[in-house]
Amino acid sequence: MRAHRRRDTRPVSRVYSRFVSAMKFALPAAALAMVALLAAWPSLNSLPTPRIAADKGQSEMLKPRYFSADERNQPFSLVALQADKSTDQPDIILLDQPEAEMTESAGTWVTIRSDKGWYNQVTGILLMRGNVRVMRDDGNEFTTEEAETDIRKGNAWGEAAVTGQGPQGEINAKGFRMTDRGKTVVFLNQSKAEVQAAETPGGKKR
């Protein structure tokens, strides 16, 4: 009877030994996993706040400045408070408070500012929205809510309402067309109003 009992206890002893050996490895591993979870818990509870503009990328630049000239050596520039590449459109750069300036060979210039901008690096066209302000060196100045500017060719246009003033009086229109770096501006209305570049005392257009 005693021998029979010893034979029965041997398998149990082996199972128990294997269980103890396994637990020697399992318990430290579980403890390490618990420590890692506790360490990561604050970050899991404080996930980063999603960005409001979903199309913004990761490469931001503060106060970017771009200067160049066309084939006639007429300078143009584009500056902004901040630039950020679009994630879904690689050729588009998002701009905060962009300002484009285009100068004609005779020295006349036009500056266009806005709250936001989307610059297409391929076409050179800048879509501007929010408090778009167009200023010419002859004193003509007007505002609109949206406009597009081809900074390379020096043209701009818009279909939104336009208000402003200049040497010739007040400006109220339904849109505008600007060509030749602000040399000519046509305001779209029931009766079209056209603003040409001012002339110097010598009779030459500025």
Q: How far apart are CA 110 and CA 102, in angstroms?
A: 6
Query: Domain coordinates of the chain in residue numbers?
Result: 1-48, 56-196
- Name the DSSP letter for residue 199: B
> Under CATH, to which class is 56-196 assigned?
mainly beta
Q: Taking residues 92-117, what's their average pLDDT?
A: 95
Q: Taking residues 6-11, what's their average pLDDT?
A: 50
Sequence-distant (6+) residues with CB within 8 A of 49 are none
Q: How far apart are CA 205 and CA 55, in angstroms?
A: 44
Sequence-distant (6+) residues with CB within 8 A of 16 are none
Q: Taking residues 21-31, what's their average pLDDT?
A: 49
For the cut 90, the answer to whether the pLDDT of residue 150 exceeds it is: yes
pTM for the predicted model, two decimal places: 0.65
> In this predicted structure, which of 34-43, 65-74, 102-111, 165-174 has the lowest mean pLDDT?
34-43
Condensed to tens digits (0 to 9), the pLDDT of residues 107-142 reads 889 999 999 999 999 999 999 999 999 999 999 999
Place of tokens 């006639």: 72
135 residue type, one letter = M
